Amino acid sequence: MPGKPRSHQPWLSIAGAAFAIGAALAIYVSFRSGCIGDPKSGVFGNPSRALELEQLALLPHVVSVLAGGMAVAMLSRSRNRVAYAVGFAILAFVCLWILEFEAEGYGVQACFGAAAG
């Protein structure tokens, strides 16, 4: 029936929220990592503490990617839903990794100002 909600609709909302919250948290931790130090060049701040924060950002990154893949699998009704979920997870992993890298660079520039270039 078109008007009847699917039984996994609450889980879809939870997975979507976990995806968004995990991604936001991973990007925020990466920004703070750049604000503490520049782990790429080691010139600014405390690079060892910044690397610790980068490692801490891995958990929300992975949770976000897995939750997004689960949400895509729940949205799909085809029998290829596992392939769609894995494809989304791979794409989300790479995109989120690039966003975290950029956020870290913004953190270095925001906290170390003109000296960071």
Query: How many other C-beta atoms lie within 10 A of the C-beta of residue 39?
Result: 21
> Structural domain boundaries of the chain?
9-116
Q: How far apart are CA 117 and CA 112, in angstroms?
A: 9
Residue 58's contacts (CB-CB under 8 Å, 6 or more residues apart) are 26
Let me know how long the chain is: 117
Place of tokens 């989120």: 96
Tens of pLDDT, residue by residue over 20-46, are 999 999 999 999 998 888 767 777 778
pTM of the model: 0.83
Tens of pLDDT, residue by residue over 35-74, are 888 767 777 778 888 888 888 999 999 999 999 999 999 8
Across 102-106, average pLDDT: 91
Q: Are the beta carbons of 28 and 64 closer than 8 angstroms?
A: no
